[in-house]
Amino acid sequence: MMRIDIISAVPELMSSFLSHSIVKRAINNALVEIHFHDLRAFGIGKFNKIDDYPYGGESGMILSCEPLAKCISSLRDQFDYDEIIYLTPDAQVLKQAEVNRLSLKTNLMMICGHYKGIDQRIRDEFVTLEISIGDYVLSGGEIAACVLTDSIIRLIPGALGDEMSALSDSFQDSLLSYPVYTRPKVWRDREVPEVLLSGDHKKIDAWRHEKALEKTKQIRPDLLG
């Protein structure tokens, strides 16, 4: 069973994410355990302070070393982490190949930054992997942690209804997905491509590959290298 620990100053942001769809089923089927840890519980002083002003000036607050260190250490004392991941826009952008690799791990820790990020010394001391989910800035790492967690969980065998279906996802073969159709056969004069009704699986596979290639060339030629 996989275990994912997520550290955040606003864990409530993520709670509904667990109670739906594939993630919920994976949890119910004991394929994965997800635990949220409220950084505020490790805050300092009467007001449980977890952040402070940046040295050198600039706007925004930085999550301080000590609350994060206490939270991370208390977890690290109990579990042997394969990766301690910090979600941040100033990192390598997440790709499916990395998701595939992480889906084979047992214990993952994710740290969500908030405000202007976390003290660099925490990254230097504890973090083993830094991930951005795209070239844009979110107001915190929580949504990014949900994105990463979801992308990992759906790859755990048994999480998807049909185990094969993850293999035909976009990106699994460096191609975008081919177009898909369901009933009815004709909708507003738009017909389902004839080949999909043919029952000829060789022909269907060839058509799908051709369409995937066509779409990738058009929208994401960078994927074709």
- Nearest distance in Å: CB 86, ligand ADE: 8
Q: Find the DSSP H helices in the chain.
A: 15-18, 21-28, 65-76, 96-102, 120-125, 142-153, 201-219
Interstrand relation of 186-187 and 190-191 (parallel, antiparallel or unpaired): antiparallel
CB distance 6 to 112 below 8 Å: yes
Nearer to ligand ADE, 2 or 87 (CB): 87
CA distance 3 to 24: 14
- Nearest distance in Å: CB 117, ligand ADE: 8
Nearer to ligand ADE, 72 or 146 (CB): 146
Nearer to ligand ADE, 91 or 195 (CB): 91
CA distance 50 to 44: 7
- Nearest distance in Å: CB 159, ligand ADE: 23
Q: How many Cβ atoms are within 10 Å of 184's Cβ, its own excluded?
A: 9
DSSP state of 41: G
Nearer to ligand ADE, 146 or 212 (CB): 146
- Measured in whole angstroms, the distance separating CA 61 from the mean position of its chain's CA atoms is 25
CB distance 36 to 75 below 8 Å: no
Residues in the chain: 225
- Nearest distance in Å: CB 97, ligand ADE: 17
Nearer to ligand ADE, 25 or 171 (CB): 171
DSSP state of 188: T
- Nearest distance in Å: CB 152, ligand ADE: 15
Return residues touching ligand ADE (CB under 6 A): 87-89, 113, 132-134, 136-138, 141, 144
- Nearest distance in Å: CB 142, ligand ADE: 8
Nearer to ligand ADE, 34 or 142 (CB): 142
